[in-house]
A = this chain, B = another copy of it.
Amino acid sequence: MRKLDPARHDQKRQEILSAARRCFERSGLKGASIAHICKEAGISPGHLYHYFKSKDAIVATLSEAWLDNISRRFEQLPIEEGGVVASLVEEISQLVPSGPNARSQLVFEMLAESTRNAGMAKLVQAHSRRLRSILANVLRQGQQRGAIDPALDPETTATIMIAMIDGLKALPLRDPEADRRAVADMLQQTLAAMLKRDRAEKTGEISGRRR
């Protein structure tokens, strides 16, 4: 009965979430147990349920925070004059994970979980919409500035960029020894080529255009 300080409550929540994240990264969404999380957080199992009503709630909260964080990074993309392509490309390139990145695997688990868990599906799809919207906006602004091929459909292009981002997360799992520098460089080129103004003139593409 010390303090009912709501700020304190929130801080504890964050601590638990942080412990949970470490556990999930270590053992997976199903592999990490409430007991593990409690030990990591230094609290008792009973106490944890004062902050979260179920394990699923923890997973959901954490997933939301995680996805939100990704979105925010793209939201803060500088869209300066002439640099739209460059900064976008740069941002994606930096995603080429370094090391047996424990964080990326969680996204794969979220994606898989979204197949069976309606709540997770909602979360994942909302995030995807938001992310696509952010990227599409950046693309649109680039098109207005003439830096990006105006024939591209921003939504479709954004969708493909997201696919690339996802796929790159598998890289360190598929090939821990990969030359990430080479991949990053080539990725930059590919993206640049894809977005490039004059690309349209060179290929007789049929679709992917603004509808």
Contacts and interface: CB of A to CB of B under 8 A. Distances in A.
A137 interface: no
Interface stretch (A14-22, A58-66, A189-197): A189-197
Contact of A116 (B28, B163, B208): B28
A108 B112 contact: yes
A153 B136 CA distance: 30
- What is the count of identical protomers in the complex? 4
A22 to B, nearest CB: 13
Interface string A118-160: 0001001101110010000000000000000000110011011
Interface of A: 26-28, 30-31, 100, 102, 105-106, 108-109, 111-116, 121, 124-125, 127-129, 132, 152-153, 156-157, 159-160, 162-168, 170-171, 173-176, 178-179, 181-183, 185-187, 189-190, 192-194, 196, 198-199, 202-203, 205-208, 211
